[in-house]
Amino acid sequence: MKILWVKTNLLHPLNSGGVIRTYNMLRQLSREHEVTYVALDSATEATSRRRAEEYCLRLIQVPWRGAPRRTQWQFYVQALANLRSDLPLPLERYRVPQLEDALHGLTQRESFDIAVCDFLFPALHFSAVRGTPRLLFQHNVESLIWDRMWKHARGIARPYFRSQAERMRRWEARLAQGFDHVVTVSIEDARLMRKWFGLQNVTSIPTGVDTEYFRPQAGGPERDVVFVGSLDWLPNIDGVRWLLCEVWPIIRNNRPSARLHLVGRRPSRTIRRLTKRTPGIVLWPDVPDVRQHLWRAAAVVVPLRVGGGTRLKIFEALACQKAVVTTTVGAEGLPVANGRHALVASEATDFASAVLTILDDPEQRRRLGEAGRKLVSERYSWRAVADAFAEICRSVVSAEPTRSAT
């Protein structure tokens, strides 16, 4: 197949779940299919451009000033300006007319078997793609994230997040309904897309993991608690704040020597402030290889209270044969059984108790780690995930007639 793949960004560095999932799938797909990858060009991605040949035959970039690294005050200014818009803030940031022009010109000059919109954000401009079957690849149900955000928010943030959630649900429904098919990364997300947006053409695919890259490493110290995740993503910021303010004090009261390592890209100002004033916290921003930190972990924690899609970081920790403690939201969409592959707890006292149990019980750590490694090794290779995605694409291509843009 000739696949036109559209995403807002390039895929290096591999520092978030979304780019890791796309990168591994495209590496597999590009072995058998001709992939043209279209992304925005912020003129700061020379290394990323060079490495694009790892996952596509051709790279096309659309000139774009790009969103500057956001400070807290810049976020407030953008949030206030967005009050005058009908679009939710995340979509407003990616309203790029040049992308629509580029897609129109490209699909007029060339024929593609299918056009894939990776995440919701480029979908604003997919009205330019006509005469080609269109597939929306949803790593999250964006409306669900914002719905959970406002329910956990406090003060003036609560009505703001609620307004964003309502806008996002309207726009996510409108945009998703313009595609011939929608692919989600969990059965639960597919169910929500059908229920909330009235879609029938929705299919889920599993999450994968590279079990050769993420492998056990014997012989090192395993005494610390580790969190791995994008530290500029609102759901992770919320989860880490909850972890540090409500869970970690319980753990430190019971084990004063305990240390927590926060590993992830672009820590927000909130994260940096909390780590400075909280005992026992070590911050590791923008590390090139998270495995070194996973290998030292006695427990890997996933303290998410809001979010959607599935957490690749859980599968990566399981592949490294690590014991995982996660909230119910963190484990959503994954075939993780509580007490067998991980410990699942959503209240602060229960979460702290689960972490302490793993720290104090090497045998339980071993059992959980071995069961988790077995689960992901036997069933969740990226090759299998890419094959499932390709089969969906073929079924969309063969279906007639192709939906016209609206």
Within this chain, do residues 29 and 177 fall inside the same structural domain, yes or no? yes
Within this chain, do residues 265 and 339 fall inside the same structural domain, yes or no? yes
**Domain range for 265:** 224-379
**Amino acid letter for position 275:** T
Q: What is the pTM of this model?
A: 0.88
Count the helices and strands in the chain (H runs, E runs). 17, 13
CATH code of the domain in which 188 resides:
3.40.50.2000
Within this chain, do residues 231 and 270 fall inside the same structural domain, yes or no? yes
**What residues have CB less than 8 Å from 338, skipping those under 6 apart?**
331, 344
Residue pLDDT, tens place only, 33-50: 999 999 998 766 778 999
Q: 219 in a domain, yes or no?
A: no
What is the spatial order of strands in the sheet that 297-302 belongs to?
281-285, 260-264, 224-228, 297-302, 324-326, 343-344
Banded pLDDT at 403 (limits 50, 70, 90): very low
Whole-number percent of the chain with pLDDT over 90: 82
Within this chain, do residues 143 and 249 fall inside the same structural domain, yes or no? no
Within this chain, do residues 182 and 266 fall inside the same structural domain, yes or no? no
**pLDDT number for residue 402:** 46
**pLDDT number for residue 311:** 86
- How many domains in the chain? 2
Q: 404 in a domain, yes or no?
A: no
Within this chain, do residues 250 and 174 fall inside the same structural domain, yes or no? no
The mean of the pLDDT values for the chain is 92
**pLDDT number for residue 324:** 98
Within this chain, do residues 167 and 241 fall inside the same structural domain, yes or no? no
**pLDDT number for residue 333:** 86
Banded pLDDT at 406 (limits 50, 70, 90): very low
- Say if residue 362 is preceded by a cis peptide, omega within 30 of 0: no
Within this chain, do residues 371 and 386 fall inside the same structural domain, yes or no? no
Residue pLDDT, tens place only, 363-386: 999 999 999 999 999 889 999 999
Within this chain, do residues 190 and 331 fall inside the same structural domain, yes or no? no
Residue pLDDT, tens place only, 176-215: 999 999 999 999 999 999 999 999 999 999 999 999 999 9
φ, ψ for residue 69, nearest 5 deg:
-55, 125
Within this chain, do residues 195 and 266 fall inside the same structural domain, yes or no? no
Within this chain, do residues 238 and 316 fall inside the same structural domain, yes or no? yes
Within this chain, do residues 374 and 391 fall inside the same structural domain, yes or no? no
